[in-house]
Structure 1
Amino acid sequence: MNNYDHYEKYGFGRWSVLHKETQEYLGWCGLKYDEALDEVDLGFRFYQKHWRKGFATEAAKKCIEIGFAQLRLKKIVGRVMPENRASIKVLEKVGMSFVERRIVNDQEWFVYAISS
């Protein structure tokens, strides 16, 4: 975390996600600007015991809302491995649509996007 300068550089980044009632750490979710691709990526990772409970979808929706309303972004992308059906479902639930297939370092990725 000491080297995480995304907030200083861009004014936003990834957030820890805590359970509202118990304050248990569930994982993280947030927006990240990728200079090389000139795009803002929605990312999320949750501990497996918290999968399929709606936490990723709820957090991702809030990130998109903040991205458009407060940060005034025009477009947000989500990159996912094709075999990660659960994450694809989250991206679709938050309104993202498939845009393209990319190969990065010999790894296939699907790119989804949503525009304001």
Structure 2
Amino acid sequence: MFELRTERLRLRPIKNSDVPNLMKIFSDPIAMEHYPSTKTEQQAEEWIEWTHNNYNAYNVGLWAVESLETGEFIGQCGIAPQKINGEVLMEIGYLFVREHWRKGYATEAAQACLNYGFEKCKYPKLISLIAPENRPSATVAKRIGMRKETQIHKWDRSIDVYAINSD
């Protein structure tokens, strides 16, 4: 079974039984501020199905992030396909339970995903799609070496594209 480990974290495939874990994020209007809205349990189940489809089609997807120390679910982070201007690019995405913000977990998990994407998957480029006003997410992208490349219109809004090339 797939697993990534960092100094403090374990990233593992999201399971159908993770709906209550995901709802800690999806039902929080502050955590979901940069998404169109919070999500219902049914939408969380659909999110898991989308994630499992990515595992099957691309061998990557968003993964559950757990504390190595406690085993507690603290968020999700991974690599997912995104269509931009007709091209499928691989995005590092991250979303954490609010009580675990500002502890460096997002940066630690995103760095592990970046390393995996370049070293194991051999992707030539990785991106992160970030709402322009989402400064904490932009900070994570910058910490792992990404730079703002452009701005696009996606999901009925302006989105900044942060990117890093494997070379």
TM-score when scaled to structure 2? 0.66
How many residues of Structure 1 are paired with residues of Structure 2 in the alignment? 116
For residue 74 of structure 1, the aligned residue among 103, 124, 133 is 124
Unaligned runs of 5+ in 1: none
More helix by percentage: 2
Partner of 2:78: 30
Unaligned runs of 5+ in 2: 1-47
Alignment of 1:15 onto 2:63: yes
Deviation by residue 1:2-46 (Cα, 9 ceiling, x = unmatched): 452111111111110001100110010000122553100110000
More strand by percentage: 1
TM-score when scaled to structure 1? 0.94
Q: Distance in 1 between matches of 2:108 and 2:158?
A: 27
Alignment of 1:65 onto 2:115: yes
- Runs of at least 4 residues off by over 6 Å: none
Percent pairwise identity: 35
Q: Distance in 2 between matches of 1:106 and 1:82?
A: 13
Q: Distance in 2 between matches of 1:19 and 1:31?
A: 19
Q: Distance in 1 between matches of 2:110 and 2:136?
A: 13
Distance 1:72 1:48, change over 3 A: same
Partner of 1:5: 53
